Every structure is written in C-alpha cells, then in structure tokens.
Amino acid sequence: MAYDPDNIFAKILRGEIPCVKVYEDAKTLAFMDVMPQASGHTLVIPKEAAENILDLSAEGLVAMMATTQKIAKAVKKGLAPDGMVLTQFNGPAAGQTVFHVHFHIIPRTDGAPLAPHGRSMVDAASLEPIAAKIRSAL
C-alpha cells in the first residue's frame, strides 16, 4: 500500500485537523489520542511521510524513538502510572488502523482494564488537563 497523504495524522501535521499537542520539534509531534485506551494515552509520530516503521528513514526512526522516550519519561513523571505500554503496529493484520507510522504510549494502572483500541472517542477538552500534566513534566 502506498502512503496516503490524506490520512488523519497527515491532516493533523498540516493543521487541517486539531489535536491536543503534548510536544513538537522539527521532526516529530506528540499528541493525545482521542480514542484512549487509558488516561494519558499519547501518540508520537514523525513528520516524515511513512506508512509504517519499515518505510521510515533511519533518521526519522531515530527522531521518533528519541521523542517516544522523552514523552514516556514525561508521562511517568507527570502521571505516575504503575507501568506503561509502548506499542507500534505495522499493517492491518497487526492492528494498524492509521497508516502513518506512530507509537502509542499507554499508561497502566494495576487492575484497570484497557479500553478497546480505537473504539470510542472522548471530548478533546477532557484531554487538555492530562496533556498539561505531561507537558509540565518535560
């Protein structure tokens, strides 16, 4: 499958769709997932157009991983979860639903179940206080 420049993350990068930003630099963007599996679920994407990790340049991969680690540390500091899941899907059979490479940072609390992946949307305004806690920990 060829990269689709009209995917939702490409539209977010172009400013056509709003997001609750957590962090941005020249090569990456981190923002709150509007379909969170847990409170604090954050996404990290490269600004490079790549469908999956196999299509991403080595430079883009380094930038995305550095930002993923930076945001994961801020999630840990700002939200104090019991644990954290870092997930990245490649292809429909693996569960990828947005075809722009991305990492999920999902805080975990002991005993709390995860919501199903990509099933229910929350109001973006409810994500801002959580994003503020993560930003303050950067």
Is residue 84 a contact partner of residue 48, using CB atoms and an 8 Å limit? Answer: no
Domain that holds residue 70: 8-111+119-136
pLDDT digits (tens, 9 = 90+) for 32-65: 999 999 999 999 999 999 999 999 999 999 999 9
Residue 114 pLDDT greater than 80, yes or no: yes
94 located within any domain: yes
Is 55 inside any structural domain? yes
Q: Indicate whether 2 belongs to any domain.
A: no
Q: What is the pLDDT of residues 81-90, one digit of tens each?
A: 999 999 999 9
Given 41, 100, 102, 104, which residue is catalytic? 102
State the CATH number of the domain containing residue 89: 3.30.428.10
Q: Which residue is listed with tokens 């569960």?
A: 95
Whether 106 is in a domain gets the answer yes
Q: Coil, strand or helix: which one is 108?
A: strand
Output DSSP code: residue 130. H
Q: Is residue 130 part of a domain?
A: yes
Tokens of 32: 């709150």
pLDDT digits (tens, 9 = 90+) for 7-25: 999 999 999 999 999 999 9
> What is the structure's pLDDT at 102?
98
In a domain, 125, yes or no: yes
Residues 6+ apart with CB under 8 A from 119: 35
Does the pLDDT value for residue 1 go beyond 80? no
102 catalytic residue (yes or no): yes
* 74 within domain boundaries: yes
**2 band by pLDDT with thresholds 50, 70 and 90:** confident
**Residue 107: is its pLDDT beyond 90?**
yes
Residue 111 pLDDT grade (very low, low, confident, very high; cuts 50, 70, 90): very high
What is the average per-residue pLDDT within 58-73?
98
Report the number of distinct structural domains present in the chain: 1
Is 1 contained in some domain? no
